[in-house]
């Protein structure tokens, strides 16, 4: 069986972002293979833990992929401040004799964004709306590489490591089965320490806010690496809770066209054609405009609205809406040329992680986490679509008994989706086209 088939059968998807099915990334020879260990969301530390404690598996996964995609140049991107992680990786590389170099990067946001990372490592700009693969580059998160190594031993992805922090009694990393709920994760971290709270599924910059009541039923999947509990009065909760209509109204009255959002936009700074201030202006004016189409190149990093804008305007949310409308209308980027990033004074426009944490009012919460709590809940809700692509089709029915690792959702290898497996032993209690619920016993 070849590596692609092993990865497909294990249901591996990108562990650090949108959950792209990994076997679809490795279909042709490339010139660069980059392991992404430059986790950049504030407070999130799951990848760091895996680099410290499972470096040998990460390097084994990297070598398996390197052999499968034409033996390209191999780089593991970490951060200069990751001393013990880099040491563990160095030792694993040397023991395995793998020709990989480690590139420690500076601690700015969003250094772990695929497009920014490709620019940092190769000096190449991914075309707006394109993929690193268009340049002969494959980027894989370090946790994904670990999962690839386990796939070579026929172990499907049934668990994940999630950072649970913020206003909780015992911030920690939770080793959870796929499909554990937000409620389970928060309880594993000792429960919330404030009476009125909300929770972010994912990192503070790119995650989704849920109310305390809603998070109880939110399932956490293979690509979910964090849950952050914040007081309901926290500025991030207030910002994310604002309805889109209110954000549009704010943009009309408050945007002063200072262009600071564009000055700091990481995609603009690597030479892509995205100018959020112009997107906001075009939306404010109404009608069609070439500037609107540029929103398709937005990477949704959130820097423009959560750090750059002095007026509380939300260029990212506006770009997201514009993107949805353009895609629904079948529009695509007409100009995918890139500029020279040298013209943007990029070095002086980086936003350091420490600045971001201060600005987001997150300085009181811990970031360096080394305590792991294993979670084994009585029930899980497993989504049949764990990331981008088609949902898997249920392979079980109510009343079936399953064991950890049994296949419960199927897609063909050629489809843009990933297989789904049982994450606990037990009985299938509910099956819908979207989820399979399992109860232990
Ligand atoms: S930073 Fe804010 S105020 Fe300035 S142009 Fe962008 S959206 Fe408008
Ligand atoms: S969210 Fe804002 S800063 Fe980030 S890529 Fe999009 S426009 Fe640029």
Q: Which residue owns the Cα nearest ligand 1 atom 2? A: 309
Ligand 2 centroid, distance to 276 Cα (angstroms): 7
Structure tokens at 331: 């529009």
What ligand has the least distance to the C-alpha of 320?
Answer: 2
Ligand 1 centroid, distance to 73 Cα (angstroms): 40
> How far from 314 is each of 266, 304, 339, CA to CA, in Å?
16, 7, 25
Ligand 1 centroid, distance to 260 Cα (angstroms): 6
What ligand has the least distance to the C-alpha of 304?
Answer: 2
8-state DSSP, 343: G
Choice from 261, 318, 359 to test ligand 1 binding pocket (greatest atom count within 8 A of CB): 261
From the CB of 93, is ligand 1 less than 6 Å away?
A: no
From the CB of 303, is ligand 1 less than 6 Å away?
A: no
Minimum-distance ligand 2 atom for the alpha carbon of 298: 6
Place of tokens 């209110």: 246
Choice from 254, 256, 259 to test ligand 1 binding pocket (greatest atom count within 8 A of CB): 256
In the CATH scheme, what is the code of domain 378-441?
A: 2.40.50.100
**Pair 395, 407: CB distance under 8 Å:** yes
Choice from 247, 250, 280, 351 to test ligand 1 binding pocket (greatest atom count within 8 A of CB): 280
Ligand 1 centroid, distance to 311 Cα (angstroms): 7
From the CB of 318, is ligand 1 less than 6 Å away?
A: no
Strand partners for 137: 32
Ligand 2 pocket (Cβ < 6 Å) reads 265-267, 274, 276, 298-304, 315-316, 319
Ligand 2 centroid, distance to 260 Cα (angstroms): 11
**Going by DSSP bridges, is the β-strand pair 226-231/159-166 parallel, antiparallel, or unpaired?**
parallel
Is 378-441 the same fold as 3-151?
Answer: no
pTM equals 0.95
At 368 the pLDDT is 65
Ligand 2 centroid, distance to 311 Cα (angstroms): 16
CA dihedral 291, 115, 262, 290 (to 10 degrees): 0
Residue 195, Cα to own-chain centre: how many angstroms? Answer: 29
**Going by DSSP bridges, is the β-strand pair 401-402/372-374 parallel, antiparallel, or unpaired?**
unpaired
Residues of the chain with pLDDT under 70: 335-336, 368
Q: Which CATH class is domain 3-151?
A: alpha beta
Minimum-distance ligand 1 atom for the alpha carbon of 308: 1
Q: What is the CA radius of gyration of the chain?
A: 21
Choice from 250, 253, 257, 262 to test ligand 1 binding pocket (greatest atom count within 8 A of CB): 257
Ligand 2 centroid, distance to 30 Cα (angstroms): 28
Q: Which residue owns the Cα nearest ligand 1 atom 3? A: 255
**Pair 107, 352: CB distance under 8 Å:** yes
Sign of CA dihedral 216, 217, 222, 226: negative
From the CB of 278, is ligand 1 less than 6 Å away?
A: no
**Pair 432, 406: CB distance under 8 Å:** no
At 330 the pLDDT is 85
- The rounded distance, in Å, linking the Cα atoms of 352 and 432 is 44
At 332 the pLDDT is 79
> How many other C-beta atoms can be found within 10 angstroms of the C-beta atom of residue 364?
8
DSSP 3-state percent helix, strand, coil across the chain (nearest 5):
35, 20, 45
Minimum-distance ligand 2 atom for the alpha carbon of 302: 1
**Going by DSSP bridges, is the β-strand pair 208-211/108-109 parallel, antiparallel, or unpaired?**
unpaired
Domain boundaries along the sequence of the chain: 3-151, 241-359, 378-441
């Amino acid at each position: 069986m070849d590596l692609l088939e092993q990865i497909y059968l294990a249901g591996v998807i990108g562990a650090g972002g949108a959950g792209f099915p990994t076997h679809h990334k490795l279909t042709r020879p490339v010139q660069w293979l980059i392991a992404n260990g430059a986790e950049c969301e504030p407070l999130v530390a799951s990848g760091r833990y895996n680099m410290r404690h499972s470096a040998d598996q990460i390097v084994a996964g990297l070598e398996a992929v390197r052999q499968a995609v034409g033996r390209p140049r191999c780089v593991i991107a970490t951060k200069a401040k990751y001393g013990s992680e880099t040491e563990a990786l160095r030792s694993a590389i040397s023991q395995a004799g793998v020709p990989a170099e480690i590139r420690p990067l500076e601690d700015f946001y969003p250094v772990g964004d695929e497009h920014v990372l490709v620019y940092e490592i190769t000096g190449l700009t991914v075309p707006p709306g394109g993929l690193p693969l268009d340049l002969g580059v494959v980027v894989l998160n370090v946790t994904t590489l670990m999962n690839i190594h386990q796939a070579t031993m026929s172990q499907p992805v049934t668990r994940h490591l999630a950072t649970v922090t913020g206003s909780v009694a015992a911030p920690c990393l939770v080793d959870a089965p796929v499909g554990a709920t937000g409620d389970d994760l928060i309880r594993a971290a000792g429960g919330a320490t404030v009476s009125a709270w909300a929770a972010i599924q994912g990192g503070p910059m790119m995650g989704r806010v849920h109310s305390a009541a809603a998070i109880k039923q939110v399932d956490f999947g293979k690509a979910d690496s964090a849950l952050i509990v914040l007081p309901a009065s926290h500025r991030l909760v207030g910002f994310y809770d604002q309805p889109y209509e209110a954000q549009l109204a704010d943009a009309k009255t408050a945007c002063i066209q200072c262009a600071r959002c564009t000055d700091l936009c990481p995609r603009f700074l690597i030479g892509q054609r995205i100018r959020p201030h112009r997107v906001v202006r075009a939306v404010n004016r109404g009608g069609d405009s070439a500037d609107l189409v540029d929103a398709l190149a937005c990477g949704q990093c959130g820097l423009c609205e959560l750090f750059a804008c002095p007026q509380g305007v939300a260029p990212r949310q506006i770009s997201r809406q514009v993107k949805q409308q353009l895609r629904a209308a079948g529009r695509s980027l007409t100009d995918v040329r890139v500029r020279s990033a040298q013209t943007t004074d990029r070095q002086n426009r980086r936003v350091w992680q420490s600045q971001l944490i201060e600005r987001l009012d997150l300085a009181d919460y811990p970031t360096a986490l080394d305590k792991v709590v294993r979670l084994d809940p009585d029930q899980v809700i497993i989504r049949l679509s764990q990331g981008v692509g088609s949902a898997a089709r249920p392979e079980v029915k109510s009343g079936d008994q399953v064991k950890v690792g049994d296949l419960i959702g199927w897609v063909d290898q050629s489809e843009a989706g990933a297989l789904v497996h049982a994450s606990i032993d037990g009985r299938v209690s509910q099956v819908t086209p979207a989820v399979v619920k399992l109860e232990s016993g």
